[in-house]
Structure 1
Amino acid sequence: MFVVYSPEGQSYLGMQNTLPPLQVPKAQSVPPVEKPTLDPLQVEQDRRYEQVPLSVEQARRQYEQVIKAARERGETIIQVREIMSQPVVQIAPEAPLQTAWERMQQHGIGHLVVVQDGKVIGLLSSQDLLGHVWQEGEQTRVKRAAVKDHMSSPVVTCWPETLIRRAAQVMTDYVIHALPVVTQNGELVGIVTASDMIRRLAMEPPLELYV
């Protein structure tokens, strides 16, 4: 069944094989548009909106002001520091995958933060081990390789003050499931995963309050 509508309303209701021919009026010629004689507008850039480089401390102060203003408006503010896991289970880049797998099993986690000389240099997830861990009878075999050969690097991190909605957006944009949490000096203080966010949202709805 088909319905044909025109500016006057419904004009046909029936099957396809009996559709009436569409009456299309003949197109009328349009006179050419004369070339404008006005000079192009000269727009001067508003210097108030020029981007000014900020230091880390300046950016931090502005971020804190935004959070303070939101709280004064009565909005619920949830920061990463409130849901992150700590202490963080770490591993060295030279460690074998066997050690990484055993550490994940021991702690019941799916991510290891790779640290060298006190700095975060990568992230190893259980997905990175897919295809490199297999069963032979009752024994588990792990590929002979180093963590550095299979870790994700560079790694995306966030600050403890980061809002969980922003952290979730970053995870979505980069298709990742965990963010190591570091201070502005690069010190590793925690890790936040997608599971941490889901758990918090399940405990304290509604979702629209998370900004």
Structure 2
Amino acid sequence: MSVTEITLVSFGYLHGAPPEAHLTLDLRRHFRDPHIDPTLRHQSAHDLPVRRAVLGTAGIRELIAGAALVADSFDAGPSDAPLTIAVGCAGGRHRAATVAMALAKRLAKTGATVSLTHRDLDKPVVDMNRTDANALAAALDRGAAAKADAACSGDAVAADPANDDLTRRQASAAARILLGQARDMWADAAAIRDGVDPVELGYTD
């Protein structure tokens, strides 16, 4: 066994930059945030209803199993070195802490020494009022429109006809990226207008 020490850190992106890690799991977009349930919002991974909600989310248990397999891959390497895994969500109180707890329990069975730190678990809940949320949605719409205009007008890069094929490919790639970002921003704006808490999407005031 080359990995004898595994450090797990749960955190919230709204409270600062992710900690340095060999593997970082970002749960913000792909897994429903218990924060949007008023009965769970002010609870945390310390509470059984939150842990049940997170572990009952489709894909979460598979993600935990997959992360354990990644840890096994590091363990198969020839060098003896510690491994750090970070698990993040928006506020660090629900999804990240619960997944980190479950993953730590699973990895401990391998014989490695596992330490678990919750950077933001006990920090206050981050909320945004509807007025600010609607203003954010409007700003996202404007930003998305600007990105789409830049992509369609060729402002993404200097795409002069005299440029070589590589430059034109770069222009096309940059335009696709801008359009993708615009679609994501429009989708977030629509979700916020439909009542989704911006915090669930990774935004804060």
Q: TM-score range by the shorter chain?
A: under 0.3
**TM-score (structure 1 length as normaliser):** 0.19
Max radius of gyration: which structure? 1
Q: Which has the higher contact order (CA 8 A, sep 6+)?
A: 2
